[in-house]
Each structure stands twice: as structure tokens, then as C-alpha cells.
Structure 1
Amino acid sequence: MLSINSKLMAMFDKNPFDFIVFSTFNLPMTVPPRPWIDRGTGGPLYTAGQDIIRNMFEFKSVRLNDEMRQRIQSPAQGRPVFDALNQLGSTPWVINEPMLDTLKTVFGQSGCKESEPLLEKLGIPMRHDTFDVPDFVKEFGNVKKEDVDVEKFRGYAKKKAEAVKMRNESNSLWCWMQYRVVLADHFRGQTLFFPHNMDFRGRVYPLSPYLSHMGDDVNRCILKFAKSQPLGSHGFDWLKLHCVNLTGTMKRASVADRMVEAERLLPSILDSARNPLNGEKWWMSSDEPWQTLAACVEIEKAMKYGGDVASFPSQLPVHQDGSCNGLQHYAALGRDNEGGVQVNLTQCETPNDVYSDVAQRVEQKRKQDEESNGEDRDVALKLREALPQNVPRKVIKQTVMTTVYGVTMYGAVLQIKRQLKAMDIPGEDAAIFARYLARKTFASLNDAFTSSMALKDWFRLIAKGASDLMKTVEWVTPLGLPVVQPYCRLLERKSKLVLVPIPMKQVDAFPPNFVHSLDSTHMMLTSLNCANRGITFAAVHDCFWTHANSVDEMNQICRQQFVSLHSQPIVEQCSEWFKTTYLAPRIQKILPASEVERFSDIFTVKVEQGELDIEKVKDSVYFFS
């Protein structure tokens, strides 16, 4: 392992660089990006073409862009996808300078050990020189290593390794924060554009890895729309609602209750805006403190704008988040009424929480096991001793969340075990309880999302069918983007290098990738329709942003496009695609008739849909909220 000489590093510390140099490919643009055109060619730079699909190191053997383009049948195919990327990249932004000034003030305290509690609360890393690393001489004096007690030296070595690890991790995060602060400062007063590309599934990302709206709380607080829009009749209410939503304290409350809370908190909101670092500091208690402060500042500016708040030119993006969006798509595909209710596809007085619902179902199953004479009775009773309260939401949340991403039983056990150990349940018992709770969690999900989970199993089955035929799994999204799963390895066959699919990865990845391609399609449809109506739009996957005065209209578009998307026979089209692609006439000539019939049966969907009326999404307040 190579490392830089410590004396050279010490020289760098004493003589820091005057400039940080960034590649222009990794920076925002100050002119509108050149558009992507047919077949995904073109791209944002005016002097060179770029790849529209992100080339990832783990797929270096697969030419992702070539694979996509070879499957495009006509120049018109995929145009809505490329148009959506162009729309997202043409949204102009500016630096939120008051927020940047506050951030710089706080970041400047990262070299002061006394500021650590404050900085930790605000997600600001400490500088590397604030960490105390144990020193051998200070610990043992001027003695030889051989003269130190073995156990004492082991304790010292362990403490030093942990301290060095913490220091290095914090230094990495500190440098990452420095990059963003420096870039934001550099682009003060300029209009910025964030050109986008996508991964092989169609999920979109800004090209700039350092400064963009697709980042953490800090990244998002220092950006705002370049164009302003008057708040209008409901915009000020949306600003206040946005501020309360960011705190994360009222996720289960109705919109009416959140508005009441916003009015109650108004003095604290105004104090935070006027005196963020020396006042009550209410904003610091938020789940997203920096974005909350940005909302406080915008509210305070609007209230100072004379008597006509509706005329205030607002630039702050207001967010609307999908409610466990992956499961929303699964529930829509399977028309699961019960699951649809839990992920807010239907109208309700207050937002439902699928994680709490699953936790309640797991608790019911635990009680049933305690009262039965089944094989799980002993584990359930022992779990009751260790965990007397109802099964906490946090124990099963990650497993429910990652179900849509294809989490396996093994992965679910590890997730739940981690949560149980954090609750001081011993390791051996935690492993037994985690296996039990993982099984009950999957069973509870099957109860609520019966058709959806059956569809997920069918997706795995057809992916295995494709792998058995030695083919990669591929499909075409509703907007015409060809998707090819790149999980392959290079093998030599008859003196030639060939790409061979990795069956397990192809099977495990297909259900989450298919759903990701659908949530990306929904975002793109919303983007295109917002652009058609002249509405400013930005997105971070399933979190949609617009001006405060156009949130109502964006919400209407978002719901309409979800209904339109899932009114298509997506599952049936998937079935026909697999039959046409993997059982083409030339394949049928090679395979025995019995095998053709077997694969045809595998590729035929037999899952019965539930009774969810997809049109109800249009009336759901908390579908995206």
C-alpha cells in the first residue's frame, strides 16, 4: 500500500493551496446545456459529445450506451426520455446567498473543538486537526515497545486505530464540504444549469457531483430557482407547510393540523430567519435544519413584502415527496386495495404510514404465536421478555423500505439484527429474534400487498427464465427507453471473449430495476407536462420541486400522470415482451417443444389483480405531499 510521506503532508498543512482545481466536466454550466437528441446523442457540452447513460466502473465490460442504441428501432423511439432530460437540465438556478453566508460562518467553526456539539447537530464535519490521536510517548513515556505490557499496548493500539479512523473519515467529509462551499462561493450571482444524464434503468442524475440540488440538506439549502414567481393565493400557505414538513415532526398529521402548527411556530420561524446563530435556534432542531432555515428566511422575506404577500416574488423550491414510492408502484401494478391505502393511493383524513401498519401486523402475529402451540411459540415468548413493548416501527422500517429493492431474507435478518442490537439485545438472542421478525415482516407485507408480492415473485421467475436461456434481462419502458441489465462477466469461449449473464444478479435485480424504471417514467411524464404548462420543475427521484404558487397544479399533473401510466396494461405488456424476445422463432427452432411450452408458461402472468380503483389516486391528498 502506498501512502504520502507524513513530512510532505505536514508541509501541505502549513502551506495550503491557494486554489482548488475542478474538471469542467464536473461543474454546473452557466449557459443552457446543449440538448440530447435522437438515440441519446448530443449532450450538454458544445465542444464534445457525451454518453447519456452513466458508465459505471462495476459494468466496465458492458458498453451501456451502445447496448441501448442498438435496441432503438426508430429515430422517434425514446424521444420523451431525452426531452425530459433536456427539460430538467434547462431549469435555471442561482446560489441562495444569505444561506451560503450562514453556512460559511458555521463551517468556519469546524476547527474549534468547542463547536463540535453544534456542528454535529447541523451535519458539519470537524477538521482533522481537532481530533486527539493517542501518542505512544505520552501514553507510556520514553520506553521501548517491548517493555510495555501486552494488554495495555493492545488497548492503546485499538484506541489509536479508532481515533485515526474517525479523523480520516471526518477529514474526507470536511474536504467534501469544502468543495461545495468553495464552488457555491465561486458561482455567486451567476445563473446555473445542471445538465442531467441517467443510469441504465432511466433514473436521472445531474452531471455535477459536487454542487447540485441532488444532494444532502446542505446542498439543497444553498440553491434556489433563478426565476421568481409571485406567491399567489395559496403560495404563502405552501411555504409555511413546506417549512413544517421539513422538520419531520408532523408526518402523521393532517394538512390542516400542520397549518395550525405553522401558525403557532411563526414567531420561532421569524426568529430563526432574523437571528439564526444567536436567537432561539428553533431551526436547528429540524430533521433538515439547513433547508428549514432557508424556508424560514423565505417566509420572513414574504412577510416583510408590504401588505400584499401574494405578490412576493418567491424563488424557493417547495417539495412534494412520494409516500414509499416503490410500494406505490407495486400496489398500483397489483391493484392491491389494502396496500394502496397504506401507501396513500386513496383519499384519507391523515397520511397512512406503511411502516407502522406492518409493525402492527408483526405484533399481531407475535401475539398469535404466543397463544398457540406452534413452532414459533418459544421464540415469541422469549422475544416478549427481551422486547415487552409492541414491535417498534424502526425495527422493521428498513426491511419494508428495501423490499422494493429486492432485499433477501438474509439481508432482512441483518437489518433487523442491527436494530435489535442498538436496543441492547445481546448478539446471540438478536440473531434468533431477527430471523423470526424477518419472517413475520415478509408475511405481513404479503398480507397487505398480496398481488404486489405475487407479482414480485413472478418478476423473479421470468428473470430466471431469461437467465436459463443464457440471455440478459431486458425490457422497454413505457416511454420507449430500452433497458438492458448489465450484470455480466467476460468468459472465453472458442477463443473468443463473450459476455455471459450472471444468473443470480440478473434475477435479484430485475424486480427493483423494473419498478425504478417505472418511477423514473412517472417523474419524466410529470416533468414534460409541467414544462408544457410553463411550470418550473425539478426532481430528486420521487421528490418533485416547483414554485410555491404552482404546487397545486404540479400535484394535479403528478396524480394524473400516475393514473395514466398505470392505466396501461404494464404487466401484460411485460409478459408479451418476454415471450416475443426470449421465445423468438429462431429460438423455438432450437428448443424442444416441451421447453418452449415450459418457458411460455413461465412468461405468462397468472397473478390475479386486486380491486384498487386507480382513479382514486387523483383525490389522494397524501399520495405526494
Structure 2
Amino acid sequence: MTEELYLEELRLEEEARGLTIERFHREHANGSQDDTFSETFLGSYLIRRYLNPYIAGIAEWMNASLSGKVGRRSTASKLLEDVPASVAAFLMLKAIFNKVGVYNNQKVCTLTGLALSGADLIHDEMRLRAFDDEYKKWSQRIHEDFNKRELPREKREEYMRKVFLKAEMPWSTWTTTDKVHVGMALLSIFKEVTGDLIVSTVGTGKAKRDIVIPSEGLQKAVADNAAHCEALFTNYFPMVVPPRDWTAETLELGGYLSHHVTPYPLVKGSRRAYKALLKGLVKEGKLDTVLNAVNALQRTRWQINVPVLDAIEYVYLNNIPCGKLPRANNKKPDPAPKRLEFLPADHPEVKAYRAYCFSIHEHNRRVVGKRVMAGRAFQLARKFSQYDAIYFPHDFDSRGRVYPKPTGLHPQGPDYVKGLLQFADGKPLGTHGRRWLAIHGANCWGEDKLPLEERAAWAERHTDLARSVAADPRADLRWTEADNPCQFLAWCFEWAAMSYMANPEEYVSKLHIDLDATCSGLQHFSAMLRDEVGGFHVNMVPNDKRQDVYGAVAAETIKLVEADLDGDNASLAQAWLKFGISRGVTKRPVMVKPYSGTRQSCGQYVSDAVDEKLEEGHALPWPSEDMWTFKMYGADKVWAAIPKVVVAADGAMKWLCTVSRLVGKSQPKERRIEWTTPLGFPVHQAKFNVKSRQIETFFDGRIIKPRINDELDELDSRQMSSSVPPSFVHSLDACHLQMTIDRAAREGITDFACVHDSFGVHACDVERFSRIIRECFVEMYENHDVLSDFLVSAERLISEEYQKDIPPVPQLGKLDLRGILENPFFFS
């Protein structure tokens, strides 16, 4: 590390701090200006601060008012008789902090305007509750649609007014006078309870009016909290010098070098007792392998691939379709055919065109966030392209999974981000590197289901394509057709350059060649259970043919759908068979099944897969107004097909759920469930009951459930049982990654690109690295009975009352783990 680079790093960290403060205040200033301050970080804090005393004040006033003790206020109390105090308090607080200048003292809010604003929210809430009581299923469909589409408030209200008209229900039931009564009463209560609003009279004559301003105490609370919370908005940049290693002395400092970046612990969100435990284990040398792995990842030298950046920015700015890269500008629907002008509104062609336009607008809405992420990634890549090497500090989550701290640009990003990054230090391909570079190209294109030798041959056959693309990626855009186009483009540049060399083995490559697990969760369950059936489907037994568990579930799904061709659901079955039941439809439901995937999550993933196909231009398979029926039919069939392929893993998940539930019921003193990974990393998990003070409102048709209260010192056995299986498996895939990186580093491999179940190194190192991946996995499960170890940790937390209910550890099958060493597709 040169002094010049060290000083540059300090400058970048100071710049990041400045951007942090600027972003924090910009977001809150915008919220204040746009009347959405209650939804900001500080706004949420203020609501939590005032809610409970305000609820108590409203409840006390209601009791007194309804008994006839407060005279004039009885008008408001009668209107609020059916409104829960918690709902009235929550919505009035939103109005107060949206309208009153708690962040911007220049903001003017009249007393009457504020009263009407809060009363409007409460009135609309009660009308929506009335609609929900009258039309349960209709209401549920609307809420599901609103929650998914994230429509702005005015659009939700506009839509609901039309729905009320259709249902022949009046929207407005309170007069303006009624609303003033309600709003004034609630504001008066807030003033009495808190003293933090001041009503001041300004102007004279006809210009005279009452305005509402925050008290000095409220302004001070906002300012103090803002100063404290700025750090929570920290911008983490890549570094231009190696991050500080994680050691016993730095466990709470993080990888950055100066006070400009808020320090962070090795394990996100860890509590004091856990930090003390971790420090003791580190000092005793019991977590050396874990720390060696994360430090090796942090020391990897990266570099921006500028030719790829230039090409990706070009296709982005020109709205050229390119994989998952969002468009820079909104799509525009094709003009309506002239003949539609002469057709009635309910004509099928008119309805179909409207559905088409709606799909375009929905696509535009969904990509806004993706567009922001892409823009930030390109901005950071351009900024850091001037440096010969950059580094990514990492930390762990509670399961031991490793994550880079910088956001926007890092090795765990989407394809267009991964394509921007290459290792800073190149290595000659050597004996095996050309083969693995070829396989990588085929994988990026989408030929990753082929045998390895066929993948390599595919790359050799497409050398001319690589040369043409590399010569001018703006003119030859075929690279954009790949499954992972940006990584494929990076491959084209290297493959083309290598192909011109007399001795290709001397070509110096900088690409990271990634080896991906075959459904990692099922691999881990199959190993711990010695499940030969599951192991076969995820490439854990010797086989020269790659197995595809997602394709196997798709095949079973097709059988179930075909069985309906002669039944009541024949039309749905025909529509699905025509639409196509591919591995793309089944992949995510199968992938999350080992992580306690539910029927509900399956429905969401199938729905997403259908939407993706429609965005790619596939014809609408079912009437647009009833697409939910189509999607849920497909989800039901996928859900029914999964157990036909994934058998033993389901039993292990249920066992983990049962044991975890017993811990929750026992309420041990430690108030947690815990286990230790094979590398000694302690995992603590606690899901607490929350006192039922969570407020549920429809808020113009969109259900919101702000969680206000503190957790109780009481474990939630239901949440414990559902959350432990995914966390348990994640802790094991994290352990496998740590073992693999540590051993590879000790064998001389220096650069790593890792994303939980995808491990990457230089092409010349892949042959050796592939062996290490398999060896570490086999050793982990040969040397550790992880389910029995889990039970030992859990048993001491289960009270004597429930000891008799502990189920036996699932019986092991006959899978020979050594077969993994002979299957080239285990990670490929």
C-alpha cells in the first residue's frame, strides 16, 4: 500500500460520509415537501414515539365523551365510535407529520387544513372497512393487486371511488363540517397529551388564519435524532487499498480505515453477549478457518472491465434489450388500430388492447427501481475505473453467509454488474484454463445443461462470433441474446484475444470462472440425510449425464396438467400446455422448498415467471382480467409436483420445525435457539412474540401493518419453527464456502468471486478448485452428523415437559458421499 493510495482511500471515505449526510437530508427534505414525511426514517421514528400516549389519550377522551361529559366534542366522538383508537391515532399522526413543518420550518400548515387532512384519512379508512365487510373476496383481490403494483395514493383512491360506484356504495358519508369536528378534536387531544404542537394566529382581517407549528421540544427531538441517524444511511464504497483484516481486535471495527465510515461488526445485527462469545472463540483460535475465508475474499483485487462498461452503457442508453438490464426509458404501447375507434368499450378487441397497454404501463412501473440500481452501478464503475485495483470489504449475516458491504457495485450483483468486474491480476490459462474458459462462455450463453465437453466444443465453434462481437460490440449485438449477456460479452473479449495467439495457454486471463451448485439446498439436505433419490437429482452420484431437478419437476407438472384435459379444468390445462411449463416456471419454487418454501411463495414465484414470459413478448394465455386464476392453477400443479421429486428433504424440514417449535414453547432462559456449524461458527436465532399492538389499516385500499411495539421477552414458537430450516441450511452452505475458500487459499489460490452457492476463481485454477469444492463438501458431512449435532444443542433448551415430544432424528439413507467426487456436475 503506497502512501498516495492510502491518502486516496481516506479521501474516498470522507467523500462517502459527505454523500451519506447529503442523501439523508435530501430524502427527508423531499418527504417534507411532498407531504410524505411520515414515511421517512425520521417520520417513522416520530410516529413510534408518540403513538402509545396518543392512543391512550384518544381512548380516555372517547370514554368520557360517549358518557356525555364533554359536551361539544360528542359530535366527533359519535363519528369516531366505530374507529379503533389505534387507527385514529396512527392516521392522525401521519397527517400531522406530513403537513406540519417538523423538518422544514418554512412549511405553512393551517389548523383547518390539518384537521381536514387527518379526518379525510380516517373517513376513507372507515369506508374501506365497510366495503371489506360487505365484499370480502372482492376487497381481498383489490388489496392483493394494490400491494403488488405499489400504485400512488391518488391512483388507489381514484380506483376505489370507481369500485364504490360500481358497488352502488356512497364514498363520502361525512360532511366537511363533520370532518372539521373530528380533526379538531383529535388535534386538541394531541396538544393536550404531548404539548408539541403550537397554534399561532397570523394575519389580520380577512387574511387572519390559525397555523400549526412544531414546539421547540419537537424540533429539538427531530434534530437530535437526525444527527444520530445519519450514520445509518452510510454509503459504502469499494476500497482502493486492502480492507483491514478481521481479527480479535477488529471484530467491531469493519474493513474501512477512518472514522468517516461508521464501524460495523463482523456479524450483522449481533448483540453484546454474542459479540463477547465470538471474540472469545476468535481469541482461542476456534474460528481461524472462518476468518481466513472472509479475509481472503476481502483481499481479492478487482478491476473495472472498461470495454464491457462502454458497451453496456451503450445498449442501456439506447434501450436495446439485454437480459435483465432495465431499459433507460419507458416502453410505449403501439398505437391503437383505427378500427377500435368504432367498437364499443366492451368489445373483446378493445379490452385486449387495454390489457396490452396495461401490461406496458405495469412493466414501466416495475423497472423504476431497477433503473436506479443500474444507473448507480454504472456511475460507481465509471468512478472506480481509474484505479488499477479495488477491494470489497465483507461481513457475515447471523447464519455465517458472507456479503460485500458496498452496494450497487460488488461481485454478488446481477449479470450486468458481474460483467463489469474482473480480477485485477491476470493469470496465464495454462494446461486446463482454456477448457474452463470455453465452458464459462457456454454457461454464460445458456448452454449450461450440456455435458462439459459439449460446452467446451460449443465455445470453440463460436470463436467467429466472439471475434466479431469483440471487434465492435455496438455493431454486432448478438451478445445481448445470451442468458447472461454482460458476462458473455466479457468472455467474448477474452476468447477472441486468446484465439489469435500462437500459444493460447500463455494468454493472461482476468475473468472469474464461476462454478454453480445444482440446487444447493437440496444438495445439503441430501447429504445430511444420505438421500440417494434426492442426491441423484442434484448430481451427487456418479453420472456422465447432468441431472436437472427443475426440469424433473417441470415434467411431473406437465403430467398433472395433462391429467386435467378431460376434466373441469380442461381449458386451463390447455392454456398452460400451450403457454409452456418449463424449468423457468419451476426453478424458484423448487429452489426455495428446502428453505421452508410455502404454497403461497410458490404461487408468487409462478406468477413472477408468467409475468417475465409476458414481458419477453409471449402471447397472453388467458383473459387478462382473470390471469390470477391461470397463475394459481399452475402454482397448484407445481406445488403438487415437487414432492414427487423432492422426497426426503421435506421430512428433515418438518423435523427441524418440530424441534424448533418445542424450543419456542419451552421458553429457555437464553430466549433463543442455537447451533454451531461444523467450523464452530455459532448461530443464534430468536423470534419473539409481539404484543398485538400492530395496527392494520387499508389506507386508500392498500393494507399497511406498521409494527409499533417492542418485542416481548417471549419466543414465538410458530415463527421459530418456520424460520429455523432455511437458516440451518444457509449456515451449512456458508460453512462449505468458508472451508473451500480457506483450503484453496492455503493451496495458493489468491482471487475469489463467491455468491453463497456459486464459487469463482481464475480459469487456470478451476481444475484444482473444483476438486477442493467437492472434497470439502464430502469431508463436512462425513465428519459431522449435523442433524444430531443440532438436536444436542436444542435438547438442553427444551423443558422437561416437552422432552417426550422430541421426534427421533430422521433415518439416514444409503447415499455414498464419495460419489460426489466423481460427478463433474455437482458444481459446474
TM-score by length of structure 2 reads: 0.61
Matched position secondary structure for 1:214: coil
Task: Write out per-residue CA displacement over residues 85-139 of structure 1, whole angstroms, 9 at most, x where no aligned residue.
Answer: 11111111111122222233334xx2xxxx43x14557143247x879x9xxxxx
Ranges in structure 1 where 5+ consecutive residues have no aligned partner:
7-21, 56-63, 135-148, 150-154, 372-376, 589-594
* Partner residue in 1 for 2:510: 315
Task: Write out per-residue CA displacement over residues 420-441 of structure 1, whole angstroms, 9 at most, x where no aligned residue.
Answer: 7977246475377347525522
CA–CA distance in structure 1, aligned partners of residues 373 and 606 of structure 2:
31
CA contact (8 A) 1:332 1:614 kept: yes
CA–CA distance in structure 2, aligned partners of residues 379 and 201 of structure 1:
47
- 1:69 paired to 2:275: yes
Aligned with 1:102 (options 291, 303, 311): 311
CA–CA distance in structure 2, aligned partners of residues 38 and 553 of structure 1:
31
Alignment of 1:142-541 (within 5 A): 170-190=367-387, 191-248=389-446, 250-279=447-476, 281-305=477-501, 307-364=502-559, 378=567, 384-387=573-576, 392-416=582-606, 424-425=621-622, 427=626, 430=630, 433-434=633-634, 436-438=636-638, 440-445=640-645, 448-450=646-648, 452-470=649-667, 471-489=671-689, 498-535=712-749, 536-541=751-756
Residues 95 and 624 from structure 1, CA distance in 2 versus in 1: closer, same or farther, beyond 3 angstroms? same
Task: Write out per-residue CA displacement over residues 358-396 of structure 1, whole angstroms, 9 at most, x where no aligned residue.
Answer: 2333455667x779xxxxx95676765555579644443
* Partner residue in 2 for 1:28: 238
Q: What is the deviation of 1:409?
A: 2.6
CA–CA distance in structure 2, aligned partners of residues 487 and 264 of structure 1:
54
* Partner residue in 2 for 1:564: 779
CA contact (8 A) 1:327 1:343 kept: yes
CA–CA distance in structure 2, aligned partners of residues 388 and 47 of structure 1:
59
* Partner residue in 2 for 1:51: 265
Task: Write out per-residue CA displacement over residues 27-56 of structure 1, whole angstroms, 9 at most, x where no aligned residue.
Answer: 01111111111383442123354222234x
CA–CA distance in structure 1, aligned partners of residues 356 and 583 of structure 2:
35
Q: What is the deviation of 1:264?
A: 1.5
The one-letter amino acid paired with 1:518 is: L
Q: What is the deviation of 1:69?
A: 2.2
CA–CA distance in structure 1, aligned partners of residues 437 and 406 of structure 2:
28
CA–CA distance in structure 2, aligned partners of residues 5 and 573 of structure 1:
54
Matched position secondary structure for 2:379: helix
Q: Which has the higher contact order (CA 8 A, sep 6+)?
A: 1
Moved more, 239-248 or 40-49: 40-49
Q: What is the deviation of 1:549?
A: 0.4
CA–CA distance in structure 1, aligned partners of residues 545 and 413 of structure 2:
29
- 1:615 paired to 2:825: no
CA–CA distance in structure 2, aligned partners of residues 160 and 285 of structure 1:
25
CA–CA distance in structure 2, aligned partners of residues 610 and 78 of structure 1:
31
Q: What is the deviation of 1:544?
A: 0.7
CA contact (8 A) 1:396 1:441 kept: no
Residues 23 and 131 from structure 1, CA distance in 2 versus in 1: closer, same or farther, beyond 3 angstroms? farther
Question: Which of 1 and 2 has greater Rg?
Answer: 2
Q: What is the deviation of 1:247?
A: 0.8
Ranges in structure 2 where 5+ consecutive residues have no aligned partner:
1-29, 36-231, 336-344, 346-351, 615-619, 693-709
CA–CA distance in structure 2, aligned partners of residues 119 and 381 of structure 1:
36
Q: What is the deviation of 1:320?
A: 0.8
The one-letter amino acid paired with 1:453 is: D
Alignment of 1:119-158 (within 5 A): 119=321, 123-127=325-329
CA contact (8 A) 1:302 1:312 kept: yes
Moved more, 174-183 or 259-268: 174-183
The one-letter amino acid paired with 2:775 is: Q
* Partner residue in 2 for 1:10: none
Q: What is the deviation of 1:355?
A: 1.4
TM-score by length of structure 1 reads: 0.79
- 1:81 paired to 2:265: no
CA contact (8 A) 2:448 2:455 kept: no
CA–CA distance in structure 2, aligned partners of residues 310 and 45 of structure 1:
38
Aligned with 2:768 (options 553, 562, 566): 553
Residues 501 and 160 from structure 1, CA distance in 2 versus in 1: closer, same or farther, beyond 3 angstroms? farther
Q: What is the deviation of 1:222?
A: 1.4
Matched position secondary structure for 1:26: coil
CA contact (8 A) 1:476 1:483 kept: yes
CA–CA distance in structure 1, aligned partners of residues 558 and 528 of structure 2:
28
CA–CA distance in structure 1, aligned partners of residues 569 and 519 of structure 2:
29
CA contact (8 A) 2:575 2:621 kept: no
The one-letter amino acid paired with 2:478 is: W
* Partner residue in 2 for 1:37: 247
Aligned length, in residue pairs: 553
CA–CA distance in structure 2, aligned partners of residues 96 and 420 of structure 1:
34
Matched position secondary structure for 1:37: coil
Task: Write out per-residue CA displacement over residues 525-575 of structure 1, whole angstroms, 9 at most, x where no aligned residue.
Answer: 111011101112220111111011010000000000000111111111111
Matched position secondary structure for 2:804: helix
* Partner residue in 2 for 1:140: none
CA–CA distance in structure 2, aligned partners of residues 44 and 282 of structure 1:
41
Q: What is the deviation of 1:503?
A: 2.8
